[in-house]
Amino acid sequence: MSAVPLPSSSLKERIIVPLDVPTVEEAIVLLDRLPDVTFWKVGLELFVSTGAGILTLLKQQDKRIFLDLKFHDIPNTMAGACRAAGRYGVDLVTLHATAGRDALMASVEAAHQGAAVAGCHAPHLIAVTLLTSIDARTLAFDLKVPLELPDYALQMALLAKESGLSGVVCSPKEAQEIRDTCGADFLRVCPGVRPAWTQAGDQRRSLTPAAAFQAGASFLVIGRPITAQPDPAAAFARICDELDVGS
């Protein structure tokens, strides 16, 4: 079965909120406090702590799911992980582009196989170009990558596109160039988004939500500016108001 269609109309539906908590109970608290959020991210902390049950719970609530486990391994292992992830019926799954062309291609094929066996839509596989916590200095001096950061992110996006992936995870700062080069249909899922009234924390390549959409982001991933606030629903509503879409 082909990949599940993703919403494209409302900006509010294109904000993905991460459930970056260690227990299902804490995840349920966030779900209850943010009933207007339609798209949730399950990442390493919650999945490793509690397993796949949270995915069933989210589906029971008709939520869209971004499974952000950022696979990075040899092709055979990546394919095995993506075959398994394909069976969950989630919307988005992440891999690292630096796993390389063979691993990325094997992952796409395997995710579709897994979905076919389970009788569900295949997930869109999207590749992390360069983590949004990495800045140009770290890329050059620690990771020893000789390309300029925007060019490196673009090369990773092109590799993902050539390998058959649906899109990338990228900083909103690189979204426009990736859209212009890879096409509007190639997804740009952007973490590292910070309203002007919040702290950057460990994010190094940030834009505000409005600037991120203007720059060409398909989806925004916004965590702590919402979930770490005393009133997460008010923070989500404020972000939606600032996008002029209401909450």
Interatomic CA distance for residues 156 and 139, integer angstroms: 14
Query: Do 239 and 169 meet the contact criterion of CB atoms below 8 Å apart?
Result: no
- Judge whether 59 counts as a catalytic residue: no
Task: Show contacts with ligand LLZGTKA7 in window 105-134 (CB under 6 A).
Answer: 128, 131-132
**Considering 59, 70, 144, 161, which one is annotated as catalytic?**
70
Selection from 128, 122, 169, 161 nearest residue 5 by Cα: 122
Interatomic CA distance for residues 14 and 189, integer angstroms: 9
Environment class of 51 (CB within 10 Å of its CB; exposed 0-12, middle 13-18, buried 19+):
exposed
CB of 77 to ligand LLZGTKA7, least distance (A): 20
Is residue 167 within the footprint of ligand LLZGTKA7 (CB under 6 A)? no
Task: Show contacts with ligand LLZGTKA7 in window 6-45 (CB under 6 A).
Answer: 18, 20, 41, 43
Is residue 224 within the footprint of ligand LLZGTKA7 (CB under 6 A)? yes
Selection from 87, 176, 93, 85 nearest residue 128 by Cα: 93
Q: Which is nearer to ligand LLZGTKA7, 41 or 83 (CB)?
A: 41
CB of 1 to ligand LLZGTKA7, least distance (A): 27
Q: How many residues bind ligand LLZGTKA7 (CB under 6 A)?
A: 16
CA distances from 167 to 24, 129, 188, 246 (A): 29, 10, 6, 28
Task: Show contacts with ligand LLZGTKA7 in window 46-105 (CB under 6 A).
Answer: none
Classify 207 in phi/psi space as left (phi over 0), alpha (psi -120 to 50) or beta.
beta
Which of 163, 166, 203, 208 lies at the binding interface for ligand LLZGTKA7 (CB under 6 A)? 203
Applying CB under 6 A, which residues contact ligand LLZGTKA7? 18, 20, 41, 43, 128, 131-132, 169, 191-192, 201, 203, 221-224
Catalytic annotation, residues: 70
